[in-house]
Structure 1
Amino acid sequence: MNFTGKAVWEGEAEGKALVSEDPISFLGGVDSETGEIVESGHQLEGKSLKNRVLIFPHGKGSTVGSYVIYQLALNEVAPAAMINQISEPIVAVGAIIAEIPLVHKLNRNPIKNIENGNRISVKGKNVRLKK
């Protein structure tokens, strides 16, 4: 299955999907040293972002979250790529400064069409669900 969207930060990456219906707050919701979701009650609480294709609707919270995304990359625990339904400035700036491929506004809802563990490739504005 192929998806096309708009690339916020173009790049190429591949990894297993980590999907959330919940928005993510990177400031306070993600441990920048381990890459683990630490927000209490979050759908992905306890899961690691490292090398995953992180799929979530959008970010939330403080603009400092952009720098948490950058810190994840510096600590080598960042997602391989991110996919949003609609990206907002927090996630967009974080992806750009961390050089993490980010695609949003896909032609199909990725949260409804991709499951945790599916193998996903991202290339520019194109997302592919691999078999």
Structure 2
Amino acid sequence: MQKTIKCRKISKGYAKGEVIITKDPLSFLGGVDPKTGVIIDSGHELYGEKITSKILVIPSGKGSTVGSYVIFQMAKNKTAPKAIISLKAEPIIATGAIMAGIPMVDEPDADILNILKTGDIVEVDADKEVINILNEGF
């Protein structure tokens, strides 16, 4: 089954991969270890999970502007997510995604936090402003 969800391009590019999803906003500064790609914020829903090479789905980002540089460092370390899908992009994560060359979209026209599940396979085509759910992990 494939479902296409329209969205808005934040950072150009295309990625296909496995979803890791959270309903908690994420701070990259102090929330993610840029050396390992693991969530280190002990209060976060994804604590201990690795976001490297996954399609990260979040409601929004939070925290310091230094978070942009953490995302950039993750890309240099090859620990970054393949793409980021956000309900509402905010400047910190948007800037980091653009600097790091990570495809990022926001404003999906469907309730992705309740449609997608960790393990689903999706395509993020930021240039075409679509998210394609390729196979839902159930």
TM-score range for the pair, normalised by the shorter chain length? over 0.9
Q: Which amino acid aligns with 1:82?
A: I
Under a length normalisation based on structure 2, what TM-score does the superposition of the two structures give?
0.93
Aligned identity (percent) is: 40
> Which whole-Å CA distance do the structure 1 matches of 2:25 and 2:118 have between them?
16
> Which whole-Å CA distance do the structure 2 matches of 1:54 and 1:105 have between them?
15
Q: Which runs of 4+ in 1 moved over 6 A?
A: none
Q: How many residues end up aligned between the 2 structures?
A: 131
Q: Which residue of 2 aligns with 1:40?
A: 42
Q: What CA deviation, in whole Å up to 9, does each residue of 1:24-83 have, x standing for no partner?
A: 010000000000000012100001111100000110010000000001100001000000
> Which whole-Å CA distance do the structure 2 matches of 1:66 and 1:110 have between them?
24
> Which whole-Å CA distance do the structure 2 matches of 1:87 and 1:111 have between them?
15
Structure 2 segments unaligned to the other structure (5+ residues): none
SS of residue paired to 1:95? helix
Counterpart among 89, 92, 98 of residue 90 in structure 1: 92
Structure 1 segments unaligned to the other structure (5+ residues): none
> Which whole-Å CA distance do the structure 1 matches of 2:28 and 2:96 have between them?
10
Q: What CA deviation, in whole Å up to 9, does each residue of 1:78-114 have, x standing for no partner?
A: 0000000000000100000000000000101211110
